[in-house]
Amino acid sequence: MPQLNGGGGDDLGANDEMISFKDEGEQEEKISENVSAERDLDDLKSSLVNESENNSSSSDSEQAERRPQPRPDLDSYEKTRDYFSEAFRRQQDGGFFKSPHYPGYPIFMIPDLTNPYLSNGALSPSARTYLQMKWPLLDVPGAAGLKDSRSPTPGHLSNKVPVVQHAHHVHPLTPLITYSNEHFSPGTPPSHLSPEILDPKTGIPRTPHPSELSPYYPLSPGAVGQIPHPLGWLVPQQGQHMYSIPPGGFRHPYPTLAMNASMSSLVSSRFSPHMMPHHPHGMHQTGIPHPAIVSPAIKQEPNTHDHMSPSMHSKSPGPVKKEEDKKPHIKKPLNAFMLYMKEMRAKVVAECTLKESAAINQILGRRWHSLSREEQAKYYELARKERQLHSQLYPGWSARDNYGKRKKRKRDNKPDSTPEDFSISNKKQCVQYLPSEKMCDSPASSHGSMLDSPATPSAALASPAAPAATHSEQAQPLSLTTKPEGRLHHHFLTGKPSGSASSSISIPIGTSGSHSTPILPRPIPFSSLHHSMLSPPSPFHQAALHSHHALFQSQPLSLVTKSSD
C-alpha cells in the first residue's frame, strides 16, 4: 500500500508497526475517537437493525435504550482511562490486560511469538528477544512460565488475542498474530463475559446470541478438552492457518534464519505448527479437522493442481488418499481490508444484532474508510507480509489457481443498463450528501466521483475516523442495502496503494467506496487529515464538517433490503 516505509522492502516489522505511545492526551483523544466511532457504529447498526426489523417493537426500545447513554466522549474518556489504568496495573502484575477500545496499534502489535520451528509452540528465545526488543514494556514470560494455561483466567488469556485484547476481544491485528484462530479460541472469553459488553437493555453483562459466539467458540466439547497448549494465546491453535498445507507437509523454502520475527509470526500464526508435521487428511494430530486445508472435495476443480508449485507435489499425503486430497486449496492471502474485516467483524457483530454479513461488511467498509492512516497502514503492511509469506510458502502458486474453485459468480445485471436496470440501481441509490457535486445517482456517477475523490487506499488513508468523522457519521444518512444494483467494478482502485495520500477533501465512504454504493463524501476528520491537523481544525474543515453534518442530518437512513423488493 501506500508508501509504507517508503515501500520498504524487507523491513518486516516495519516502523509503522512500532508506533510508539503518544502522549497521554493524544492517546486519550485517539481513544476517545475510537470509542465515539464505535458508538457511531453502534448507532448506525441500531438504525440498520431497526430498519431491517421493520419497526419492530424492539427497535424503539433499543434506540431508546441507547439514547440514555451518557455522553460517549466523556464516558469513554473515563472508561479509557480506566482501561489504561487497568492495563498498566496488569502489566505491572505481569499479567495480561485488556485493551482499551482502540488504543492504537502499538501495544497490539505483538507478533505471535511462537516459533514456527517449535512445534509445541514454546516461545523461542529469538522470539522472546524480538518481543522484548519490540515491546520492552511487555513482560514476556518464558515458555516455562507460560506452561500452565490453566491458571490464567480465560479472560486474560486468549490464543487469539495475545497480551492485549481488543475491547471485544478481537485483536486488531489478530489476523497476523494468530491468523484465524476464531475457530479455536479457548482462551478468548466470550464477549458476554466481557465487562464492557453490557446488555444495552439491562446494563448488565449480556448473554450473547449463540451466533455471536460461533466464530470464536465453535469448539465442541471434545475440542475444548484439547486445549492443548498452556500458552493459549501464544500458541497457534490447530486448524487455523490461512493457507492450505501441502499434503506432503510444508516445505519451508527458507532456512530459519531467513525468517525474521515478523515472518515467523505469520508462519506461526497461519502456517504453523501444523505446517511442520502435517497430518494426513488435513487433520491435526489432535483430531480436529484442519481448517487451513480446504477440502479439495469442496470446491475442487480439475487441473487446478496443475498450477501447483513443484513443492506441492513433492510428497504424497498418504497412500490411500484420493487424488483430490493431494491438491489442497491454497487460499489467497488476505488483503488489508480482509484482514481488517476478519478482525473487526466479531466486534461489529457483537455490537449489534445485525448478523447479515453483507450488511456487516458494508459497515466494515465504511469503517475501513474511516480508519486513520496509521491504522490502515498497519493492515496494508500486514497484508503485504501475508503476501510475502504466501509467496514464499507457495512459490508456484498463482491467484489464478483458485479461479473457478468458487462457484461462478452470477455476473450481475450490470451489463446493458436499461432503464429498468437504472431503476433497480436507484434502489441502492446513494444518498445525496453533497447538494451540488458528485451525486452518485448512478454507478457511473459513482465512479466519476471517485475520479475526483480517489478511493485509492492512499486516499482512504487520508480519511480517518475521528471525533469529527464520528460525529458526522452519526448524523450521516447511510444507504445500506443488500440488494445488488449490478456489481460495479472498482478497478478505479487499481490505483493501487500509491502511498500518496490524496489531499482531496472529499473521501469516498458510505456503504462502499467502490462498488454499488455511492460515494459519500464527507468531512474529513480533523485528526485524520494529517497529524499536524489534529489540533485546530481549519475553518475550511469546519465548514466542510458543518455543511456535511447538516446534510446528513437531513437525510434519513436508508436501508434497502432484499425483502424490500
What minimum distance in Å lies between the beta carbon of 135 and DNA? 26
How many other CB atoms are found less than 10 A from the CB of residue 364? 21
Q: Which residues contact 393 (CB under 8 A, 6 or more apart)?
A: 243, 250, 252, 253, 267, 271
Q: How many residues bind DNA (CB under 7 A)?
A: 78
Cα 240 to Cα 472: distance, rounded to the nearest angstrom: 38
Q: Which stretch binds DNA (CB under 7 A): 55-63, 109-117, 142-150, 450-458?
A: 450-458
Q: Which stretch binds DNA (CB under 7 A): 85-93, 94-102, 255-263, 452-460?
A: 452-460
According to the binding rule CB under 7 A, does residue 490 interact with DNA?
Answer: yes
Q: Which residues contact 406 (CB under 8 A, 6 or more apart)?
A: 299
According to the binding rule CB under 7 A, does residue 329 interact with DNA?
Answer: yes
What minimum distance in Å lies between the beta carbon of 261 and DNA? 22
Q: Which stretch binds DNA (CB under 7 A): 67-75, 122-130, 279-287, 504-512?
A: 504-512
- Binding residues among 222-281 for DNA as defined by CB under 7 A: 242
- Closest to DNA by CB, 134 vs 284, is 284
- Closest to DNA by CB, 513 vs 521, is 513
DSSP 379-398: HHHHHHHHHHHHHHH-TT--
According to the binding rule CB under 7 A, does residue 334 interact with DNA?
Answer: yes
Site string for DNA, 362-401 (x = CB under 7 A): x-xx--xx------x---x--xx--x----------xxx-
Beta-sheet pairing, 479-481 with 97-98: unpaired
Q: Which stretch binds DNA (CB under 7 A): 19-27, 142-150, 226-234, 507-515?
A: 507-515
- Closest to DNA by CB, 313 vs 405, is 405
According to the binding rule CB under 7 A, does residue 444 interact with DNA?
Answer: no
Query: Smallest Cα–Cα separation from 127: which of 91, 173, 162?
Result: 162
What minimum distance in Å lies between the beta carbon of 327 and DNA? 13
Question: How many Cα atoms within 13 Å fall on the side-chain side of residue 200?
Answer: 20
According to the binding rule CB under 7 A, does residue 408 interact with DNA?
Answer: yes
Please report, in angstroms and rounded to a whole number, the separation of the first and last CA atoms in the chain: 39
- Binding residues among 37-66 for DNA as defined by CB under 7 A: none
Question: How many Cα atoms within 13 Å fall on the side-chain side of residue 274?
Answer: 34
In angstroms, the Cα distances linking 14 to 51, 168, 263, 310, 380 are 43, 26, 12, 31, 11
What minimum distance in Å lies between the beta carbon of 290 and DNA? 13
Question: Binding DNA by CB under 7 A: which of 306, 409, 420, 535?
Answer: 409
What minimum distance in Å lies between the beta carbon of 219 and DNA? 14
Cα 79 to Cα 10: distance, rounded to the nearest angstrom: 39
In angstroms, the Cα distances linking 118 to 226, 232, 286 are 19, 15, 17
According to the binding rule CB under 7 A, does residue 114 interact with DNA?
Answer: no
Query: Smallest Cα–Cα separation from 467: which of 68, 109, 62, 72?
Result: 72
According to the binding rule CB under 7 A, does residue 476 interact with DNA?
Answer: no
Cα 543 to Cα 156: distance, rounded to the nearest angstrom: 45
- Binding residues among 341-360 for DNA as defined by CB under 7 A: 341-342, 345, 349, 355-358
What minimum distance in Å lies between the beta carbon of 296 and DNA? 12
Site string for DNA, 170-199 (x = CB under 7 A): ----------x-x-----------------
What minimum distance in Å lies between the beta carbon of 421 and DNA? 13
Q: What phi, psi does 34 have (nearest 5°)? A: -65, -40
Query: How does DSSP classify residue 236?
Result: P
According to the binding rule CB under 7 A, does residue 494 interact with DNA?
Answer: yes
- Closest to DNA by CB, 79 vs 345, is 345
Could you give the maximum distance between any two Cα atoms of the chain, in Å? 72
